Amino acid sequence: MPVWIDTHCHLDAAEFAADAQAVRERAAAAGVVHCVLPAVSPANFALVRELAHRWGDSYALGIHPLCTPQCGEHDLAALERALDAHAADPHLVAVGEIGLDYFVPGLDGPRQEWFYREQLRLAHRHGLPVLLHVRRSADPLLRQLRRIPVRGIAHAFNGSLQQAREFVRLGFRLGFGGTLTYERALQIRRLAAELPLSALVLETDAPDIPPHWLYRTAQERAQGQPQGRNEPAELPRMGEVLAQLRGMPADELAAATCRNAGEALPRLRALLPG
Protein backbone atom coordinates (compact mmCIF):
# COMPACT_ATOMS: atom_id res chain seq x y z
CA MET A 1 0.00 0.00 0.00
CA PRO A 2 1.38 3.45 -0.88
CA VAL A 3 2.21 5.77 2.01
CA TRP A 4 1.20 9.41 2.07
CA ILE A 5 1.87 12.65 3.95
CA ASP A 6 -0.89 15.16 4.66
CA THR A 7 1.05 18.43 4.70
CA HIS A 8 -1.82 20.53 6.05
CA CYS A 9 -4.67 19.42 8.30
CA HIS A 10 -6.33 21.02 11.32
CA LEU A 11 -6.98 18.05 13.59
CA ASP A 12 -7.24 20.44 16.52
CA ALA A 13 -10.40 21.97 15.01
CA ALA A 14 -13.69 21.84 16.91
CA GLU A 15 -15.09 19.49 14.25
CA PHE A 16 -12.72 16.80 15.53
CA ALA A 17 -13.13 17.42 19.26
CA ALA A 18 -15.20 14.29 19.82
CA ASP A 19 -13.18 11.79 17.75
CA ALA A 20 -9.73 13.12 16.83
CA GLN A 21 -8.04 9.88 17.88
CA ALA A 22 -10.33 7.79 15.69
CA VAL A 23 -9.80 10.20 12.78
CA ARG A 24 -6.03 9.85 13.06
CA GLU A 25 -6.33 6.06 13.31
CA ARG A 26 -8.44 5.93 10.14
CA ALA A 27 -5.82 8.00 8.36
CA ALA A 28 -3.05 5.66 9.48
CA ALA A 29 -5.04 2.64 8.31
CA ALA A 30 -5.41 4.31 4.90
CA GLY A 31 -1.64 4.78 4.59
CA VAL A 32 -1.27 8.38 5.81
CA VAL A 33 1.92 8.00 7.81
CA HIS A 34 2.32 11.65 8.81
CA CYS A 35 0.23 14.79 9.25
CA VAL A 36 1.40 18.39 9.61
CA LEU A 37 -0.81 20.34 12.04
CA PRO A 38 -0.63 24.13 11.59
CA ALA A 39 -1.79 26.53 14.29
CA VAL A 40 -3.87 29.60 13.50
CA SER A 41 -3.30 31.72 16.64
CA PRO A 42 -1.64 31.48 20.06
CA ALA A 43 -4.89 30.03 21.41
CA ASN A 44 -4.17 26.67 19.76
CA PHE A 45 -0.37 26.54 19.97
CA ALA A 46 -0.43 24.13 22.90
CA LEU A 47 -3.03 21.81 21.37
CA VAL A 48 -1.35 21.35 17.99
CA ARG A 49 1.91 20.63 19.78
CA GLU A 50 0.27 18.10 22.11
CA LEU A 51 -1.48 16.29 19.24
CA ALA A 52 1.67 16.17 17.12
CA HIS A 53 3.62 14.62 19.98
CA ARG A 54 0.82 12.18 20.75
CA TRP A 55 0.70 10.80 17.22
CA GLY A 56 4.30 11.26 16.10
CA ASP A 57 3.22 13.98 13.70
CA SER A 58 4.54 17.52 13.28
CA TYR A 59 3.19 21.01 13.87
CA ALA A 60 3.64 24.64 12.86
CA LEU A 61 3.07 27.80 14.88
CA GLY A 62 1.68 30.97 13.37
CA ILE A 63 -1.11 33.53 13.15
CA HIS A 64 -3.59 32.99 10.31
CA PRO A 65 -4.64 36.08 8.31
CA LEU A 66 -8.29 35.48 9.28
CA CYS A 67 -7.24 35.75 12.94
CA THR A 68 -5.49 39.09 12.54
CA PRO A 69 -8.56 41.20 13.47
CA GLN A 70 -8.52 39.65 16.96
CA CYS A 71 -4.74 39.48 17.37
CA GLY A 72 -2.30 42.18 18.35
CA GLU A 73 1.36 42.79 19.00
CA HIS A 74 1.15 40.71 22.19
CA ASP A 75 0.13 37.69 20.08
CA LEU A 76 3.08 38.18 17.79
CA ALA A 77 5.26 38.35 20.90
CA ALA A 78 3.64 35.11 22.10
CA LEU A 79 4.56 33.48 18.79
CA GLU A 80 8.15 34.63 19.14
CA ARG A 81 8.31 33.24 22.68
CA ALA A 82 6.85 29.92 21.55
CA LEU A 83 9.32 29.60 18.69
CA ASP A 84 12.17 30.33 21.09
CA ALA A 85 10.85 27.92 23.73
CA HIS A 86 10.37 25.03 21.29
CA ALA A 87 13.30 25.70 18.98
CA ALA A 88 14.81 22.30 19.81
CA ASP A 89 11.54 20.40 19.41
CA PRO A 90 11.94 18.13 16.35
CA HIS A 91 8.17 18.10 15.86
CA LEU A 92 8.13 21.87 15.18
CA VAL A 93 8.70 22.00 11.43
CA ALA A 94 7.44 25.40 10.22
CA VAL A 95 5.92 28.79 10.94
CA GLY A 96 2.29 28.67 9.89
CA GLU A 97 -0.38 29.00 8.95
CA ILE A 98 0.44 32.53 7.85
CA GLY A 99 -0.26 34.58 4.76
CA LEU A 100 -2.78 36.92 3.19
CA ASP A 101 -6.47 36.63 2.34
CA TYR A 102 -8.08 39.11 -0.05
CA PHE A 103 -11.18 36.95 -0.57
CA VAL A 104 -12.92 37.36 2.78
CA PRO A 105 -14.52 40.83 2.95
CA GLY A 106 -13.81 43.23 5.77
CA LEU A 107 -10.24 42.25 6.57
CA ASP A 108 -7.76 45.05 7.15
CA GLY A 109 -5.22 44.62 4.35
CA PRO A 110 -2.32 46.57 5.87
CA ARG A 111 -2.86 44.84 9.22
CA GLN A 112 -2.66 41.33 7.84
CA GLU A 113 0.28 42.37 5.65
CA TRP A 114 2.12 43.53 8.79
CA PHE A 115 1.49 40.20 10.53
CA TYR A 116 2.63 38.33 7.42
CA ARG A 117 5.84 40.32 7.08
CA GLU A 118 6.74 40.04 10.77
CA GLN A 119 6.12 36.28 10.74
CA LEU A 120 8.33 35.86 7.69
CA ARG A 121 11.06 37.61 9.65
CA LEU A 122 10.57 35.26 12.59
CA ALA A 123 10.71 32.24 10.29
CA HIS A 124 13.92 33.53 8.72
CA ARG A 125 15.49 34.16 12.11
CA HIS A 126 14.64 30.65 13.33
CA GLY A 127 15.65 28.96 10.08
CA LEU A 128 12.16 27.54 9.58
CA PRO A 129 10.06 27.19 6.42
CA VAL A 130 6.53 28.60 6.27
CA LEU A 131 3.06 27.28 5.49
CA LEU A 132 1.38 29.97 3.41
CA HIS A 133 -2.32 30.78 3.15
CA VAL A 134 -2.81 31.95 -0.45
CA ARG A 135 -6.25 33.28 -1.37
CA ARG A 136 -6.37 35.98 -4.03
CA SER A 137 -3.02 37.10 -2.66
CA ALA A 138 -0.25 35.36 -4.59
CA ASP A 139 1.45 38.50 -5.93
CA PRO A 140 1.73 40.40 -2.60
CA LEU A 141 2.90 37.20 -0.91
CA LEU A 142 5.60 36.82 -3.54
CA ARG A 143 6.74 40.43 -3.17
CA GLN A 144 7.61 39.87 0.48
CA LEU A 145 9.23 36.50 -0.22
CA ARG A 146 11.64 38.21 -2.61
CA ARG A 147 12.67 40.50 0.26
CA ILE A 148 12.71 37.95 3.10
CA PRO A 149 14.15 34.66 1.83
CA VAL A 150 12.27 31.72 3.32
CA ARG A 151 10.95 28.55 1.76
CA GLY A 152 8.05 26.24 2.48
CA ILE A 153 4.65 25.27 1.09
CA ALA A 154 2.02 27.43 -0.61
CA HIS A 155 -1.02 25.74 0.89
CA ALA A 156 -4.17 25.12 -1.23
CA PHE A 157 -2.55 26.81 -4.20
CA ASN A 158 -5.02 28.37 -6.63
CA GLY A 159 -3.04 30.97 -8.55
CA SER A 160 -1.89 31.23 -12.14
CA LEU A 161 0.80 29.19 -13.87
CA GLN A 162 3.11 32.20 -13.83
CA GLN A 163 2.59 32.66 -10.07
CA ALA A 164 3.11 28.94 -9.50
CA ARG A 165 6.41 29.04 -11.33
CA GLU A 166 7.55 32.01 -9.27
CA PHE A 167 6.75 30.25 -5.99
CA VAL A 168 8.70 27.23 -7.24
CA ARG A 169 11.61 29.45 -8.28
CA LEU A 170 11.70 30.84 -4.75
CA GLY A 171 11.95 27.34 -3.29
CA PHE A 172 8.32 26.53 -2.51
CA ARG A 173 6.25 23.43 -3.03
CA LEU A 174 2.57 23.82 -3.88
CA GLY A 175 -0.18 22.09 -1.92
CA PHE A 176 -3.05 20.35 -3.73
CA GLY A 177 -6.01 18.53 -2.24
CA GLY A 178 -9.78 18.29 -2.44
CA THR A 179 -10.24 20.99 -5.06
CA LEU A 180 -8.47 18.98 -7.75
CA THR A 181 -11.13 16.24 -7.46
CA TYR A 182 -13.76 18.52 -9.05
CA GLU A 183 -13.96 18.21 -12.83
CA ARG A 184 -14.92 21.90 -13.12
CA ALA A 185 -11.73 23.02 -11.33
CA LEU A 186 -10.01 23.29 -14.69
CA GLN A 187 -7.18 25.64 -13.69
CA ILE A 188 -6.26 23.68 -10.56
CA ARG A 189 -6.33 20.38 -12.43
CA ARG A 190 -4.24 21.83 -15.24
CA LEU A 191 -1.62 23.09 -12.79
CA ALA A 192 -1.57 19.78 -10.93
CA ALA A 193 -1.07 17.91 -14.20
CA GLU A 194 1.50 20.19 -15.84
CA LEU A 195 3.74 21.55 -13.09
CA PRO A 196 6.96 19.63 -12.40
CA LEU A 197 6.31 16.65 -10.15
CA SER A 198 9.00 17.97 -7.80
CA ALA A 199 6.80 21.02 -7.07
CA LEU A 200 3.80 19.15 -5.67
CA VAL A 201 2.71 18.07 -2.20
CA LEU A 202 -0.64 16.73 -1.03
CA GLU A 203 -2.89 18.02 1.73
CA THR A 204 -6.48 17.84 2.92
CA ASP A 205 -6.93 21.08 4.92
CA ALA A 206 -9.28 18.92 6.99
CA PRO A 207 -11.98 19.54 8.06
CA ASP A 208 -12.27 22.01 5.15
CA ILE A 209 -12.07 21.72 1.33
CA PRO A 210 -13.93 18.39 1.06
CA PRO A 211 -13.35 16.34 -2.11
CA HIS A 212 -16.23 16.01 -4.54
CA TRP A 213 -17.40 12.70 -3.06
CA LEU A 214 -18.08 14.43 0.29
CA TYR A 215 -19.55 17.66 -1.09
CA ARG A 216 -23.24 18.43 -0.54
CA THR A 217 -25.07 20.97 -2.69
CA ALA A 218 -27.12 23.75 -1.13
CA GLN A 219 -30.27 21.82 -2.01
CA GLU A 220 -28.96 18.66 -0.35
CA ARG A 221 -28.02 20.62 2.76
CA ALA A 222 -31.49 22.19 2.84
CA GLN A 223 -32.91 18.66 2.79
CA GLY A 224 -30.95 17.85 5.94
CA GLN A 225 -27.85 16.19 4.50
CA PRO A 226 -24.81 17.51 6.38
CA GLN A 227 -21.77 18.78 4.53
CA GLY A 228 -19.17 16.04 4.47
CA ARG A 229 -16.31 16.52 6.91
CA ASN A 230 -12.94 16.22 5.28
CA GLU A 231 -10.37 13.94 6.99
CA PRO A 232 -6.75 12.91 6.37
CA ALA A 233 -8.04 9.42 5.49
CA GLU A 234 -9.37 10.94 2.25
CA LEU A 235 -5.85 11.89 1.12
CA PRO A 236 -4.97 8.61 -0.67
CA ARG A 237 -8.05 8.89 -2.87
CA MET A 238 -7.12 12.51 -3.68
CA GLY A 239 -3.65 11.23 -4.52
CA GLU A 240 -5.13 8.68 -6.89
CA VAL A 241 -6.97 11.48 -8.70
CA LEU A 242 -3.73 13.44 -9.02
CA ALA A 243 -1.93 10.33 -10.29
CA GLN A 244 -4.61 9.86 -12.94
CA LEU A 245 -4.33 13.50 -14.01
CA ARG A 246 -0.57 13.04 -14.41
CA GLY A 247 -0.84 9.61 -16.02
CA MET A 248 1.37 7.84 -13.50
CA PRO A 249 1.02 5.03 -10.93
CA ALA A 250 -0.34 6.09 -7.56
CA ASP A 251 2.57 4.54 -5.65
CA GLU A 252 5.08 6.59 -7.64
CA LEU A 253 3.04 9.74 -7.03
CA ALA A 254 2.88 8.97 -3.31
CA ALA A 255 6.65 8.45 -3.09
CA ALA A 256 7.36 11.66 -4.98
CA THR A 257 5.01 13.83 -2.92
CA CYS A 258 6.41 12.41 0.32
CA ARG A 259 9.92 13.21 -0.86
CA ASN A 260 8.81 16.72 -1.80
CA ALA A 261 7.25 17.22 1.64
CA GLY A 262 10.54 16.31 3.27
CA GLU A 263 12.41 18.77 1.07
CA ALA A 264 9.93 21.55 1.82
CA LEU A 265 9.95 20.83 5.58
CA PRO A 266 13.40 19.38 6.33
CA ARG A 267 12.75 18.60 10.01
CA LEU A 268 9.90 16.33 8.96
CA ARG A 269 12.30 13.72 7.54
CA ALA A 270 13.53 12.61 10.95
CA LEU A 271 9.95 11.95 12.07
CA LEU A 272 8.98 9.64 9.21
CA PRO A 273 8.85 5.86 9.76
CA GLY A 274 11.72 4.01 8.14
10 is in an annotated binding site: yes
Check the annotation: does 155 bind a ligand.
yes
Q: What is the largest CA-CA distance in the chain?
A: 52
CB atoms within 10 A of CB 147: 9
86 is in an annotated binding site: no
Q: Is 75 part of any known ligand binding site?
A: no
CB 175 within 8 A of CB 8: yes
Give the helix, strand, coil percentages of the chain, each rounded to 5. Answer: 50, 15, 35
Cα–Cα distances in angstroms (integers) from residue 96 to residues 45, 81, 126, 139, 151, in the given order: 11, 15, 13, 19, 12
Distance of CA 260 to the CA centre of its chain: 14
Q: What strands lie across the sheet with 200-202, from one edge to the other?
A: 4-6, 32-38, 58-61, 92-101, 130-135, 152-155, 172-176, 200-202
Give the N- to C-terminal CA distance of the chain in Å, as an integer: 15
- Listed in order, strand segments (DSSP E) in 7-128 are 32-38, 58-61, 92-101
Q: Name the residue among 122, 36, 145, 108 with its Cα closest to residue 75.
A: 122
Name the residue type at position 236. Answer: P
- Spatial separation of the C-alpha atoms in residues 141 and 263, rounded to whole Å: 21
34 has binding-site annotation: no
Q: State yes or no: 8 annotated in a binding site.
A: yes
Q: Which residues are annotated as a binding site for a divalent metal cation?
A: 8, 10, 97, 133, 155, 205
Q: Which residues are annotated as a binding site?
A: 8, 10, 97, 133, 155, 205
